[in-house]
Chains A and B, each alone.
Chain A
Amino acid sequence: AQSVTQLDSQVPVFEEAPVELRCNYSSSVSVYLFWYVQYPNQGLQLLLKYLSGSTLVESINGFEAEFNKSQTSFHLRKPSVHISDTAEYFCAVSRNQFYFGTGTSLTVIP
């Protein structure tokens, strides 16, 4: 069975500072990896995904994540955050089902 661990439940960061949200997973087989973002009182939206190929994947709003097979990690990074990035972020893996982490609440401080 797969499991997903998001190491930080809350991450406060100042505007324009860099941020890293950590995600580790456990799986004995190949999986697909995802990051989702959730704004208050909304559903989850896909931020980026890794299916195969290049281990570095990017989103349209400046986030990136790197798949590290040896460390079974898929950390999310952004070099300079904006106020609008304040949200809940979920890491997920899929094989036959989707398994989600418990989420990281990112708060960007003006």
Chain B
Amino acid sequence: DVKVTQSSRYLVKRTGEKVFLECVQDMDHENMFWYRQDPGLGLRLIYFSYDVKMKEKGDIPEGYSVSREKKERFSLILESASTNQTSMYLCASSLDRDRGHTEAFFGQGTRLTVV
């Protein structure tokens, strides 16, 4: 089974802190994604990556950055956390797009609270 693991289920951080959310997948997927989920807004794409050291902005990249130094790991960074970044963060991975997009596999999510 594909496994996508997010390093934390719950996090509480203070305003202004630098926050790292880590995601690891074990199925050699090329594509990885970071979403945030808020009530009534569904899932919104923050960043995605099709390959190592490659990244592309999604719909709401402001206030975030990402890092993909290894194929299996995709990190989301909040440079200076703010209260409006309190949310559920979901990481996902999928097979290479040139071979056809199959489903996205999701981690368990990280519920981040910024105080």
Number of residues on chain A facing chain B (CB within 8 A): 23
* Smallest Cβ-Cβ distance to B100: which chain A residue: A51
Q: Are B33 and A102 in contact (CB under 8 A)?
A: no
* Smallest Cβ-Cβ distance to A92: which chain B residue: B104
* Smallest Cβ-Cβ distance to B44: which chain A residue: A100
**Number of interchain pairs (Cβ within 8 Å):** 57
CB within 8 A of A43: which of B41, B45, B106?
Answer: B106
Q: Does A98 contact B (CB under 8 A)?
A: yes
Q: Tell which of A9, A32, A90, A100 has the most Cβ of chain B within 10 Å.
A: A100
Bound Cα distance from A34 to B109, whole angstroms = 19
Q: Does A49 contact B (CB under 8 A)?
A: yes
Q: Are A51 and B92 in contact (CB under 8 A)?
A: no
CB within 8 A of A100: which of B9, B42, B94?
Answer: B42
Bound Cα distance from A96 to B94, whole angstroms = 11
Q: Are A44 and B106 in contact (CB under 8 A)?
A: yes
Q: Are A32 and B101 in contact (CB under 8 A)?
A: yes
Q: What interface size band does chain B fall in?
A: 20 to 34
* Smallest Cβ-Cβ distance to B58: which chain A residue: A97
Q: Does A28 contact B (CB under 8 A)?
A: no
Known A-B contacts A42-B108, A42-B109, A43-B108; the reply to A100 vs B103 at CB < 8 A is no
Q: Interface residues, chain B, CB within 8 Å of chain A? A: 4, 9, 33, 35, 40-43, 45, 48, 58, 90, 92, 94, 97, 100-109, 111
